[in-house]
Amino acid sequence: MILKAPAKVNLHLEIKGRRSDGYHEILSIVQCIPLYDHIHICSLKKKHALRVVCDPSLPGGHNIAALAVERFRKIRGIDDGIEVKIEKTIPVGAGLGGGSSDAAAVLTGLNKLFGSVLKPKELRDLASQLGSDVPLFLGDSAALVSGRGENITDLAARQDFNLVLVYPGFPISTQDAYHWFDQAAESCHSGSSHPADLRFQYEQKRVDSWDFFNAFQYVVECRYPVIKRITEILRRSGAHIAAVTGSGSSVFGVFTDGKAARSAEDTLARAYHRVWMLVPLKNDPSAD
């Protein structure tokens, strides 16, 4: 079985503060994009065997996909041997959700492989045990996300804009970014949007009137001036929004003028190795 695991960008990301459980309360609009890891799943003859191969290898050898297999087998009492091969395209630690998307694809694939033994709610509950972002990739291509990421409302995905996405060549730890935000909260644009207003803005308003932002922008720009430079290039090139996705390090620009987007892509590609011009995914997120 071969599955596609799409990346995502946070078109909007607010941080509402720290919760009593230690997590941060967020409010975000997430858009899946056609940048994919490819997941190969097959059975092994040896019972209880688990082999996860990632190309290229992840730093430290850690992979949430292995945990997804272990949790799935445990909850269903399955002892079959499983092999997962992951062909990585989505950069690691780049705010694009690659690891979470991989884990969601593994859960989806295993559920199909074993005859849809888990109902959709059971699959979402299992996904939430693996990470805050994992359930997101079981839904549609655009979503309003709140809480620590567990509250997900599917949105009517739009495709009337282009994204120019830039990976600057280094990862940023989400844990570090939250720490920086907590230290500099008074200097950050944290926002106070209402979920219904954000949904209306995404689904109904003109793209060039969106006032979305990312609360991590200030703290990551302070530590990585290259992110500020990329953001400025995107804005000068005609992007209506230019911001990091997630906690970085990737930066995206939202364009309604395709010619301007292509020009921005060409300009940035001369300085940065990994630059993409993309049209957002329609619902279903694993489809082209």
Q: Are 131 and 103 in contact (CB under 8 A)?
A: yes
Helices marked H in the chain — which ranges? 64-76, 98-113, 120-130, 174-183, 195-204, 217-223, 225-236, 258-269
- Report angle CA 86, 91, 95 to the nearest 5 degrees: 120
Widest CA span in the chain: 57
Note if 79 is an active site residue: no
CA 138/CA 101 separation, integer angstroms: 9
Q: Tell me whether residue 193 is exposed, middle or buried, using C-beta atoms within 10 angstroms of its C-beta: 0 to 12, 13 to 18, 19 or more.
A: middle
Tokens matching residue 241: 């929004």
Whether 133 is catalytic: yes
**Choosing from 8, 37, 80, 102, which is the catalytic residue?**
8
Helix (H) or strand (E) holding 39: strand 24-44
CB–CB of 286/41 below 8 Å? no
Query: Which pairs with CB-CB distance under 8 Å and at least 24 residues apart come from 119-125?
Result: 122/75
How far is it, in rounded angstroms, from Cα 73 to Cα 76?
5
| List 37, 102, 133, 140, catalytic entry | 133
- List the catalytic residues: 8, 133
